[in-house]
Amino acid sequence: MPVTLRALNLSFDPIERAALLWREHWGDGDQAVDAMAAVTSIMRAHQILLAELDALLRPYGLTFARYEALVLLTFSREGRLQLSKMGERLMVHPTSVTNTVDRLESAGLVTREPNPRDGRGTLAAITEAGREVVERATRDLTAAKFGLGTLTEAELAGLFAVLRRLRIEAQDFS
């Protein structure tokens, strides 16, 4: 993962400035300007967080997406899950699961096994090396508070709650 995170050090907030200009040009109207500012903030927050997390995970040869897949396997009862199930839980496309598991397998963190109860399915099973890597990576990520160290517990909970409404509307779950 590239994404190296450059410090910009502007003397003003570019998103706030955009909101002000927006109001001048297109009027404020309903909530459109606030929605624009919020959306842009989410985009930038995503970029910042992904850069930080990927940088923390790079020593382990992981990206955040691959780390999430490993964690999911760690949580499963027998350390193995069918790929289709992984895609569901991680909310990613089937071909992305194949790709993620390919890379984890090449790194020796996961092995592929046929599903004994369904000849169509393939299981990804975490290896001992995979468990070690995920433990060490998790220590680093929690120490760094997942890049959200500036936020209070109440803010974290609020963020989760608000974005949860967004996810519900997008039909992630019911």
Partner DNA sequence: CCGATTTCAGTAAGACTGATATTA
Partner DNA sequence: CTAATATCAGTCATACTGAAATCG
Task: Considering only residues 51 through 80, tell me which ones interact with DNA, judged by CB under 7 A.
Answer: 51, 63-66
> 116 or 174: whose CB is closer to a second copy?
174
d(CA 91, CA 131): 22
Q: Confirm or reject binding of residue 101 to DNA (CB under 7 A).
A: yes
Which of residues 35, 59, 108, 129 is near a second copy by CB under 8 A?
Answer: 35
Binding mask 51-90 for a second copy (x = CB under 8 A): -xx----------x---x--xx-xx------------xxx
d(CA 23, CA 83): 47
> 8 or 119: whose CB is closer to a second copy?
8
> 11 or 31: whose CB is closer to DNA?
11
- Taking contact as CB under 7 A, which single stretch among the options 11-19, 84-92, 134-142, 151-159 is the one that binds DNA? 84-92
CB 24 → DNA: shortest distance, Å?
A: 25
* Dihedral sign for Cα atoms in the order 34, 145, 135, 49: positive
Identify the H or E element spanning 158: helix 153-169
Task: Considering only residues 126 through 165, tell me which ones interact with a second copy, judged by CB under 8 A.
Answer: 138, 141-142, 145-151, 153, 155-160, 162-165
Contact between 97 and 90 (Cβ < 8 Å): yes
Smallest CA-to-CA distance from 152 within 123, 10, 160 is with 160
Strand-pairing partners, residue 123, are 82, 113
Q: Confirm or reject binding of residue 87 to DNA (CB under 7 A).
A: yes
* Per-residue buried b or exposed e for 44-78, using 16+ beta carbons within 10 Å of the residue's own CB: eeeeebbbbbbebbeebebbbbbbbbbebbeebee
Task: Considering only residues 105 through 144, tell me which ones interact with DNA, judged by CB under 7 A.
Answer: 112, 115, 118-122
